[in-house]
Structure 1
Amino acid sequence: MNWYVVYTKPKWEKKVAERLNEMGVVAYCPLIVKISQWSDRKKKVMVPLFNSYIFVQVSDKDRNRVFEVPGAIRYLFWLGKPALVKDFEIEAIQNWLSAPETFEIAIDTWRKGDKIVLESGPFVDQEAIVQEVKQSHYLLVLESLGCVLKVEKKQL
């Protein structure tokens, strides 16, 4: 079965994912912890990583079942077809969200333009290109995930 991206009403991501899971449709809404501040207090709140988007894993014939849930608006399209998300991309998001906030990696001397394979952390086994080398950090481009990773150098 394929993973698809579903566009939801704003602030309905968790509700839609929960109701789809109750219906037997595999839905994934990646969540992160955000600290919200009001005038009298601060509170940790779980918010969606992607505003107004969730991922669903359904067969082609069951794609319309998603719209039985209030709040699901439409599928995200790419080049005239529903956008497909590969299993390894969903796993990369899950690994990244479940990783500790800080972790150590062994760094050889990297130079701008080097192609490397990450050996630890949430992006283990991902290929990256060294975009920038600074005194305090490296910037790595993870082309397969379409993101930039900042790796801080540990001060001895």
Structure 2
Amino acid sequence: MKWYVVYTKSKWEKRAAAQLTKFNINCYCPLIKKIQQRSDRKIKVEVPLFNHYIFVQLLEKDRNMVFQSPGVLRYLFWLGKHAIVKDHEIETIKEWLNNGDTAQEIMVMQYQIGDKIHLNSGPFCDHTAVVKDITKTHYVLILESLGYVLKIKHK
């Protein structure tokens, strides 16, 4: 079975994953712990690692089952085909989140726009990215193999 990427309504990632799990669909919504400021206090909350996206593992013939959840809008496409995530990439994300390395920052030095770099830590370890933009506080990287654009804070 393949892992597909499903696009959800805003703030529906956890709900859609829970609903799909009830329908016996293998679903993964990676979550990270984040501190949010409320008017009177700070609280620790779990938020999705990828806004609007969850991963579902099912047979190609069963792909329409995900639309049983009202939070699911569509599948993500890459180069005209359904975006497929490899098993080892899902495992890498799970391992990274279980190790508690989510607070670590990726530091990039003296790269130019258009440079190809090899990521050696974090959830996209062992992937190659292209530097798209450099600002005073962030690097914008494109992970062509996954179709992601990453914005990474630098020091």
Same fold (TM over 0.5): yes
Runs of 5+ in structure 2 lacking a partner? 105-116, 129-140
Aligned to 2:84: 84
Aligned to 1:64: 64
Aligned to 1:138: none
Aligned to 1:6: 6
User: Whole-Å Cα distance in 1 between the matches of residues 151 and 9 of structure 2?
Assistant: 28
Which one-letter code corresponds to 2:12 in the other structure?
W
Task: Give 1:148 shift.
Answer: 9.8
Give the TM-score taking structure 1 as reference length. Answer: 0.68
CA contact (8 A) 1:20 1:26 kept: yes
Matches within 5 A, 1:1-156: 1-101=1-101, 126=126
Q: CA RMSD for the aligned pairs?
A: 3.3
Deviations 1:101-154 (A, max 9, x none): 489xxxxxxxxxxx99x7xx877x9488xxxxxxxxxxxx9x77887999xxxx
Deviations 1:7-59 (A, max 9, x none): 00000000000110111000100000010111201100000000010000010
Task: Give 1:100 shift.
Answer: 3.3
Q: 1:37 to 1:21 in 2, by over 3 A?
A: same
Runs of 5+ in structure 1 lacking a partner? 104-114, 129-140, 151-156
Which one-letter code corresponds to 2:59 in the other structure?
S
Which moved further from structure 2: 91-100 or 62-71? 91-100
Which one-letter code corresponds to 2:90 in the other structure?
I
User: Whole-Å Cα distance in 1 between the matches of residues 15 and 122 of structure 2?
Assistant: 27
Give the TM-score taking structure 2 as reference length. Answer: 0.68
Give the structure with higher Rg (CA): 1
SS at match of 1:93: helix
User: Whole-Å Cα distance in 2 between the matches of residues 127 and 53 of structure 1?
Assistant: 20
